[in-house]
Amino acid sequence: MKHFLRVLTQFLLFLYCKCLWRGLKFIFRKVTGRCELQRICYNNKPGARRTLKIESSLKCSKSEVSNEGAHPDAVEKTIDDIIALKKINPDTNPQLAISLQASLFQIVGYRNLVLEVEKLRREQYDCENPDHEEMLMKLWKTLRPDSALTGRISKQWCEIGFQGSDPKTDFRGMGLLGLHNLLYFAEHDKAAALQMLHDSLQPKHSKMSKAEWEKQKLDKAIGYSFAIVGINITDLAHSLLVSGALKTHLYNVAPEMPSFMHFQQTFCYLMQEFHRFWIEEDPCDIMEFNRVRTKFHKRVLKQLKNPDMALCPHFTASDLHLINL
């Protein structure tokens, strides 16, 4: 039954795009004297509101040229072709090309960002690769500047939230993407990263001293391991990006092409927000991690449904203060 409803919905959407909507667009153009792209550009402010509608319009367009421009260098030609196809006079509509260019750069940039992130996610950590090893060592030195690592394989890795003596095994799910994000967070928002790491290692109940807590060998802290949570939040950020949910945010914060830096800044924001959310939820132990993560994911998705939403519009470490436990 669900499959039938899905097929029926897709069929009705196809009819809407191919038949009814084209008829309505023809009527609107005759009445207003403007094509759909002109109406979108002139009636919507820059950012997600405009770009999402332009993207949707181009997807439903009957012209093949409107769906080109997978490379930034092709954007200018694509705009010229669209203007020619829609029979728009560029002299009387100079703002149209400027607006289209900004939105098309965002659309192309988002597609390229997905490819870049996917490539990093699929690249597995290789302990024989000196670049990979260097990144991992930088992560340790940034998070544990006063503690020398006794060896590449060491239980010390658990101090920054890895599950065992070799972090390599923890990167399998997200590949190098997880390491890139953790290192970016540690280096570019060091104070917040160190605060989160410190908090994650504290006893859950402040009435108990750390010595008593360690003596009783109770489960760790407020309930999570820093590095493992970072890899989990990388997975969350990745799913938001690939599903398209992150378009709202990135189209609002990136004036032109969203870059990998924008993705990493978003990761930093999500890490800190998850930390706040975990404390608010006050779970009993780590066994509730999936429940809390799912609830947090739903909250972020709800925020991103607002076309004016920007998760971290002006990201700076000093603007995001963690709860000091």
What is the chain's pLDDT, residue by residue, as a tens digit (325 residues)? 666 777 777 766 666 655 554 555 555 444 444 567 778 888 888 899 999 998 988 887 654 444 444 577 778 788 777 777 777 777 777 778 888 889 999 999 999 999 999 999 999 999 999 999 999 999 999 999 999 999 999 999 999 999 999 999 999 989 999 999 999 999 999 999 999 998 888 755 444 555 554 555 444 445 689 999 999 999 999 999 999 999 999 999 998 899 999 999 999 999 999 999 998 888 877 788 899 999 999 999 999 999 999 987 654 333 433 333 3
Q: Kindly state whether residues 130 and 106 are assigned to the same domain.
A: no
| Domain identity same for 186 and 45 | no
Domain that holds residue 219: 125-319
| 13 and 89 fall within a common domain | no
Last residue in a domain, options 76, 92, 121: 121
Q: How many domains does the chain have?
A: 3
Note the pTM of the prediction, 2 decimals: 0.81
**One domain, residues 269 and 134:** yes
Q: For residues 225 and 281, state if they share a domain.
A: yes
Q: Is residue 325 part of a domain?
A: no
Contact indicator for 317, 191 with CB cutoff of 8 Å: yes
Identify whether 324 is part of a domain: no
Report the amino acid identity of residue 249: H
Whether residues 138 and 253 fall in one domain: yes
Q: How far is CA 168 from CA 69, 106, 173, 295, in A?
A: 38, 35, 11, 29
Residues 113, 193 within the same domain: no
Closest CA relative to residue 113, chosen from 300, 249, 305: 249
Same domain assignment for residues 151 and 192: yes
Among 121, 139, 158, where does a domain finish?
121
Flag whether 88 is in a domain.
yes
pLDDT for position 73: 75
Judge if 218 and 143 occupy the same domain: yes
- Tell whether 201 and 248 lie within a shared domain: yes
For residue 12, being part of any structural domain is answered with: yes
For residue 322, the model assigns a pLDDT of 36
Q: What is the pLDDT of residue 42?
A: 81
Give the Cβ contact number of residue 17 at 10 Å.
15
Predicted local distance difference test score (pLDDT) of residue 218: 45
Q: Is 169 found in the same domain as 294? A: yes
